[in-house]
Structure 1
Amino acid sequence: MAIGEIGLTSSMRANLLSLQTTARLLGSTEERLSSGKRVNTAVDNPANFFAAQSHTSRANQLSGLKDNISEAIQTVKAADSGIKGVLTTIEALRGVMTQARSAINDTVNSAVTLGGSATGGASGLTGQYNRLVEQLNNLVTDSSYKGTNFLTSGSVTLTVNFNENATTKIVMSGFNSGASGLAISGGGSSLTVAGTTGNITSGDLSTASSLDAAEATLNSAMATLQTKSSELSANLSSLTARQTFINEMTNTLVVGATKLTEADTNEEGANLLSLQTKNTLGTTALSISNQAQQAILRLF
């Protein structure tokens, strides 16, 4: 026995060791109950700890992708709303064409020059047309979401990654749905509509044939917009499907990580009660051993 060391009987040492072990187990059990996890560190269970950590890390990465997809969905919706507005405006432009045709039919032995020397119902139609074209362009300009506008240019692109490695993605491209992109324009005191073979300008809508060309251009513009709207709808479906998938996959990963590390609170509660009882009994046993040793010492 070393100098200064307190002498302990073998039974006292056994009781003390048991108390130390019980105290350590109590600490672990209390930590599991407070955290709700049976695996809190790699020491508890290396395989489960690192597997759960990997699941959680991927879930966090997917959550970031989900936010980007949500923003892309809003960008597509903004563009689709813009297209609907442009289509409505083109319908109004067609109405102006109808009025112009009526004016031509009502004019006898004279050409109707819209916005110029036109008479009767044709007067002022150029102004109406040009204002509608201006509103069409304004709709296109205002169809932006967070700085991305699919309706202004074909050079606009948006890439959305679908997985954490960026190996699956969707690349969406814009297009010019303004008046110039759709070959529709209005200017000056005359009406200008771009046809399939060139521009019809300088008030050359004074004949039925020029109106036919103008209406054909508007019809072509509507067909183009409807095609682009279908493309946007397809992109929206892809984004929405991927968003749903990521939501489900993220939940699967989180649940998987939880199952690898979570504690059974009923089991841990029972363990805590058992260890507390064992600790009390151990303390009592140590006290009894100490009293017995003191009684023996008093005999000498």
Structure 2
Amino acid sequence: EQITTIIKSSEFNNTNLLDEDFTGTTTVAALQSLTITPGADVTDSLNVANQGFTAKVTDAIDTSIASQTDAEAMVGKLDDVIKDVNTSLSDMGAASRKIEGQLSFTSKLSDVVETGIGNLVDADLAKESAKLQALQVQQQLGVQALSIANQAPQTILSLFR
């Protein structure tokens, strides 16, 4: 009964991967492959399916213990359930490691993209800054050229005085 209670209460976010009688989500697509090709379909995913412990545990505990033979049969069934649980736990652990690996990859990819965008923005700012400085220099040269051109007639007029 305690095992059944644990299985029934192992719900999170309307998902229960242990109870096949659960009415919410019993399969989770936890991981999808990253395809960087535009327009490509993302079809690969890591599906974590319901482990169906309710039926296994129910089969094990439906045995009545009226004799030593019945008790030994129940112990055998419980041993089988324990083996099934261990197998399911290893499957779920492998899926968890895959998810952690994908999270790490996604985080690093995000960092690289952010760094690349930052470098592009910095490069654009440097380019625009260089253009601005070039325009300012051209403007100063134009003002100096006009100043020099305006001084020449004044010099000639000063000779006539």
When normalised by structure 1's length, the TM-score is 0.40
What is the correspondence of 1:58-77 to structure 2 with a 5 Å cutoff?
none
1:247 alignment partner in structure 2 = 107
Q: CA RMSD in A?
A: 3.7
CA distance in structure 1 between the partners assigned to 2:44 and 2:106 by the alignment: 13
Structure 1 residue 276 and structure 2 residue 136: aligned? Answer: yes
CA distance in structure 2 between the partners assigned to 1:291 and 1:168 by the alignment: 78
SS state at 1:152 partner? coil
Structure 1 residue 181 and structure 2 residue 51: aligned? Answer: no
What is the correspondence of 1:50-65 to structure 2 with a 5 Å cutoff?
none
CA distance in structure 2 between the partners assigned to 1:238 and 1:229 by the alignment: 14
CA distance in structure 1 between the partners assigned to 2:139 and 2:9 by the alignment: 73
CA distance in structure 1 between the partners assigned to 2:107 and 2:117 by the alignment: 16
Q: Retained in 1: the 8 A contact 2:27–2:48?
A: yes
For structure 1, list consecutive stretches of 5 or more residues without a partner in the other structure.
1-132, 186-192, 195-199
Structure 1 residue 216 and structure 2 residue 67: aligned? Answer: no
Q: Retained in 1: the 8 A contact 2:17–2:50?
A: yes
What is the correspondence of 1:117-132 to structure 2 with a 5 Å cutoff?
none
2:123 alignment partner in structure 1 = 263
Structure 1 residue 157 and structure 2 residue 157: aligned? Answer: no
CA shift for structure 1 position 288:
4.6
Match for 1:236 among 68, 71, 96? 96
CA shift for structure 1 position 174:
0.8
CA shift for structure 1 position 292:
5.7
SS state at 1:153 partner? coil
- Matched residues, percent identical? 22
CA distance in structure 2 between the partners assigned to 1:272 and 1:280 by the alignment: 12
Match for 1:172 among 48, 52, 60? 48
Q: In 2 relative to 1, CA 266–249 (structure 1 residues): closer, same or farther, beyond 3 Å? A: closer
CA distance in structure 1 between the partners assigned to 2:73 and 2:4 by the alignment: 21
Q: Retained in 1: the 8 A contact 2:17–2:51?
A: yes
CA shift for structure 1 position 252:
3.3
SS state at 1:183 partner? helix
1:141 alignment partner in structure 2 = 8
CA shift for structure 1 position 264:
7.9
SS state at 2:47 partner? strand
SS state at 2:11 partner? coil
SS state at 2:123 partner? coil
Paired AA for residue 177 in structure 1? F
CA distance in structure 1 between the partners assigned to 2:72 and 2:27 by the alignment: 35
CA shift for structure 1 position 230:
0.6
Paired AA for residue 6 in structure 2? L
Q: Retained in 2: the 8 A contact 1:183–1:217?
A: no
Q: Retained in 1: the 8 A contact 2:48–2:95?
A: yes
What is the correspondence of 1:42-57 to structure 2 with a 5 Å cutoff?
none
The alignment covers a number of residue pairs equal to 149
Q: In 2 relative to 1, CA 146–294 (structure 1 residues): closer, same or farther, beyond 3 Å? A: farther
Q: In 2 relative to 1, CA 216–163 (structure 1 residues): closer, same or farther, beyond 3 Å? A: same
Write the deviation string for residues 79-113 of structure 1: whole angstroms up to 9, x where unpaired.
xxxxxxxxxxxxxxxxxxxxxxxxxxxxxxxxxxx
CA shift for structure 1 position 276:
3.2
When normalised by structure 2's length, the TM-score is 0.68
For structure 2, list consecutive stretches of 5 or more residues without a partner in the other structure.
36-40
